[in-house]
Every structure is written in structure tokens, then in C-alpha cells.
Chains A and B, each alone.
Chain A
Amino acid sequence: MAWDSGEVREILRMIETEHLDVRAVTMGISLRDTAAESLERTCARVYEKLMRSASALVATAQAVEADYAVPITNKRISVTPMALVTEPSRAPRVVEAAVVLDRAAGELGVDYIGGFSALVEKAMTSGDRALIDSIPEALAVTKRVCSSVNVATTRAGINGDAVLIMGRVIKELAERTAREGGIGCAKLCTFANIPDDNPFVAGAMHGLGEGECVINVGCSGPGVVLSALKRLRASGDPMNLSTVADTIKRMAFKVTRAGELIGREVARRMNAAAGGDTGGDVRVRFGIVDLSLAPSPVVGDSVAEILEEMGLERTGAPGTVAALALLTDAVKKGGVMASSHVGGLSGAFIPVSEDARMVDAVRVGALSLESLEAMSAVCSVGLDMVAVPGDTSAETLAAIVADEIAIGVFNNKATAVRIIPVPGKSAGESVIYGGLLGEAIVQAVSRFRADRFITLGGRIPAPLLALRN
């Protein structure tokens, strides 16, 4: 036989009991050619382009899923940051653009559409402002639209004005979706160093240097890594930091290979169907694999469980940052070998509500907002799916965003904040969002304030790190 039967059995185990899946196949679509002089006309062109480009996405992904037996959990679309597309219309509010994205996404059968976004790391144009002002209403009236605002880069520094505005946007969005626990905030990321090719929501967008259409893939697979570490511990072989790193690396390789295989095949089939290389007008290319470990609320599919399997009593205990750094680095090393193009966020995600064991850690008081901040210095994103009391002020929210963004800017990495001030709830209470979003425990926020600092306005200059020429 071409493979050892143990090798085939291992894959069977990964798929059937360890939750190996491809978290997202995300089709990036450029909307640069849809901008028009009126918002109405822009929306019509956006709708037409999405329906034309992505009509085969869900069916193709399902066919590939059937052939390879690896589940694809989400099919998504990411588009050019919408502020650039709606700006020529000079509309003061662009909620209609979100509505049309939502409609197209619904009709195409995709789970999410990302890119209701603005890039304002240095300053804002009137088009950026129109989009940002529209976010609370846009995300409250749509289901599938995800929004992101890049308020800082290592090159440009931090746009303090935008950070403050985002504090207010988050607050208003939570209030508009109060009946569902402020769920609108789960669809909004405030970013530093936002990647152009991230397949994961809510930060997915189709960057300016991208082509017409691209297929990006987000891996998953914490369950696979967790089981491998459990087997290592049970095997009686030496278990030390080196063997732990090595085991994670090997598993990350396999998980990423699955993502690469699926992504390439979806891109190949979609390109062939669109006649991309034979005169058709849509060329679909494979972009990148984002090799992040993405947890889900299912037991055994948790990043926190991996950290605890390494020997932490609870995630958030002293030692958590070191363990997470080891994990993230080993995932990258294994993944980068497995894929020809790695991109997006690529690390390990720590979305609190989406990871059942992390929720437990918050519940027992092991994991605080501050420990999550420290963890974000060594993993993929940042404060992700964190619930805070509903009475947290816009200024305090902005200050939390500023801290997280500073970690990204001054460490030359992407960080983001996806925080939910849950209306009417205070620290220790729970709110259930369901599905991949899971359950959140409202976390305490420092009672000391930073209002004067956060309302100073202006920009935090780019760090010395930016001057690399």
C-alpha cells in the first residue's frame, strides 16, 4: 500500500474525533471597479459583481468537501475596504452599501462577508468618516456583514482621533443590538496592521494590492494538536518543552496541508468554471493559507485546553504567555513548511467566548482582561470576543482599544479588538450568542479612567521600529 495503514487511520481519527476542519474558505473579490457617482448606482454594481464572481463558491466548496472528506465550516467573501468604493458617491451615510453586501451574501449562501471597512491609520477622508459613522446602523440591520477599521500601523503610528471614535462606535453598536446582548460588536474589529489577505472574520478584507479574485483559506485544528499532546503525555516518551514544540509543529504541518489542499482545489475548480485561463473574465487564484489555530465552542477544539495540557492549571495562570508563545511559534514553524504561501493572521487565536475552556477560565477568575492583553503580544490577534460591563464608557473602551493597538504597533504585528460592552450586564454575568460565537462571561474593567489621555486627540507618532530604511 502507498501508505502505512496507521497513516490512513490517523487521518480518519483527525476528521472523525479531533475536529479537523477548514474553518473558512474565503473568496476575496475586488470591488474597485464598482465605485460610481451615486450610492444607488454603486450598490447596484457591487451586487452585480458579487453575484457574477461568487455564484459558484458555495457549490464548489461543498463539492471539494465531499471529495476530500475534510469539512469546510464556513464559506465567506471578503471585499475591497468599502470606504474606498463608496467614497466617490460623496454620500454622508453608506448603510445601503452594507445592506447590499448582506443581500448578496444571503443569496450566494455564504456565512459572512467582510470588508465594510476603512483604513484610517493616519487620518480620515470624508468617505472614511461616512463609513465609520454608518457602522452601528449597518451592523445592526444586517446579519452577515463584518466590519473592520484599521486605526494604526507600525509605519504610520496610531490615529488617536480614530481610536476615540471607535470607542463611541462600539458603544453605540452594542446599544443598537442590546436585545441580543450587543451581538453587533462581534462583527466589528478595530485593527492595527490589518493584513490584506485575512480569511477570518470579522477582520477579513480584500486588500488594495490584491488581484481580481482570490481564494484564501483559514485553518483550524486545535483538537488535532491537543490530542497529539495528550498522546505524547500518555506515551511515556520524554515530555519537555522541546518535545512539546516538536509535536505541535508536526501537527500544524498536517493541519495546514489540509488547508492548502482544499484552498488550491477550490481555486482551481472555480477558475476552470469561470474560464479564467481560457478567455473568461474572472480569473480565480489561490492566495494564502492562514495557519492560525482557530478554536470552536466544541469541547476538545480549544486553544486553552492545549495550554492546560502543557501543564497550566488554568489558562491565565502565570506561565500562560510563555506557553502561548511556544504554541504560536511552533504552529508557524510547522505551517510554513506545509504551505507555499502563508498569510493573514497566522498564529493562534484566543477569542474568549468561542473557546469553551477559556470561558471556564474566566468563570473561575483565572483569566482577566489584563492577562488577555499580555497574551495578545505573542499570538495572532488580540482582545477577541471579550465581553465587558454594559456601563463601560466610550472613553474607557477607546482606552482599552488604544492599549491593544499599541501592542501591535510597537511589536510590528497585527492586533485587533473585538469587545462587547453587553448592555444591562455587569461583571460575572453570562451572555449566550450561540453557534461559533459561543458564550461570554462579562469581565471586569479597571475602575480607574483615562478620559483625559484618550481625548487629547492627534496621533501617536510611528515607533522607531518603523524607520527601517
Chain B
Amino acid sequence: MKQILFIEDESAIHKTFSDALAKEDYEITSALDGEIGLRLAKEKKPDLILLDLVLPKLNGFEVLKALKADEATKAIPVIVLTNLEQMEDIQKAIDLGARTYLVKSNYDLSEVVDMIKKASKEA
């Protein structure tokens, strides 16, 4: 069973994703802020990280930077899942090492699930 860490402050999205991905044989670990997310990434070393950018305590960019700076977590693929769609945000996240950048509101749930499945297979 593949492990996914989902760092996102909206609990409703955690619920939807957990239910949608449970069907696909994934185990989801939820973190509601950047600090917890970073700690869980180091502890659990998941196969894939889904990361929002607007987060309490540590924002998504800070989390991404810390993940890529740490030898233990730098190889974990990170998919940024956010509603920020300014070019500078996209560029910054890609420069910091995000594998994919998805603007949430532009995709259906099934499309995002498919992308997660594809990314976790490559991981």
C-alpha cells in the first residue's frame, strides 16, 4: 500500500481525498499545517506528498524548501495542489523542486486522483 502525505489546511478536502483514494489502495496521512506536515514527512517518509501553499505556521514554499534541503526527504516527489495560479508562484514552486503544480479549481476530482496515481507509480 502506497503512503501519501497530504498537507492541506482544509479538512473538507482531506475527507474527500481520503475517501476517493481509499478505493485505490492508498494510505493517506493528513497534516493541517506546514509544521506538522514537515515533521510527518521526516517521520513517515511517504511515497508522495500533496502540498497546499497557503498553510498556517509554515507556508507551502517553506515546507517545500525544507523538504528538498533534507537528505532524508529530498527524493520524495511533491505535487503542489493549490488555488494560487500566479506565474511567479508556479515558477517558484517548480524552482524549489515541486514535481507537478496543480491549480485545484481547474481539475475534477477524478483528474487529480489519476495524476496522483501516475505520480505515485513513478515514485
A and B associate in one complex:
no
Give chain A's interface residues, CB within 8 Å of chain B: none
Give chain B's interface residues, CB within 8 Å of chain A: none
